[in-house]
Structure 1
Amino acid sequence: MTGSALLSALAIGIGVGIVGRLVLPGPKAAPVWLTVALGVAAALLGSVTIRLIGVDANQALPRLLAQVGFAVPAVVLGVVTARRGAGDATRS
């Protein structure tokens, strides 16, 4: 993996993590560090996946689309899961 892929995964992950936390409605049960970590990890997974399917490392657009495509669902699932877990804990 190239340095530009790592930097773009880091930037995309941080951006998606922060924006996802701000945009999703409802109580904020997931901490900011969790949404950012999920975004970065999923964006890295998107970079690895796009490389494994054979897309050239110099093609930035497919890599960015894969990073965003992996990061957005990961952040949404993380926030929704944390919200459900916090709701269950308050009922006990």
Structure 2
Amino acid sequence: MPVTGIVTAIVVGLIVGALGRLVVPGRQHIPIWLTALVGAAAALIGTFIAAVIGVADTSGVDWIELIIQVVLAAAGVSLVGDIRGRHT
């Protein structure tokens, strides 16, 4: 993976992770790097799911793909927050 791909994944991960945190009610006690990691994973999995169901490549903004990614990020942030909350 080229450096630009890694930087893009981090930026998309931050954005999707931040949107996922906004969707989850309450305060999540996870660091920003973990939010980015969850967001990047959600973006990759969401893109795969969108491709499988045939909505990944549309004209304009891929709203359905973005919604899938944010829902996955919200679930991931909630799950990681719960797991970290039990250990701290």
Whether these two folds match at TM > 0.5 is: yes
Partner of 2:81: 83
Are 1:65 and 2:61 matched, yes or no? no
Aligned residues: 80
Are 1:16 and 2:16 matched, yes or no? yes
Offset at residue 60 of structure 1 (A): 3.7
> In 2 relative to 1, CA 60–39 (structure 1 residues): closer, same or farther, beyond 3 Å?
farther
Partner of 1:32: 32
Q: Gaps (5+ residues) in structure 1? A: 1-5
**Match for 2:18: what amino acid?**
I
Q: Gaps (5+ residues) in structure 2? A: none
Offset at residue 55 of structure 1 (A): 4.6
Give the structure-2-normalised TM-score: 0.55
- Separation of aligned partners in 2, 1:47 and 1:30: 24
Partner of 2:51: 51
Question: Retained in 2: the 8 A contact 1:21–1:32?
Answer: no
- Separation of aligned partners in 2, 1:54 and 1:81: 28
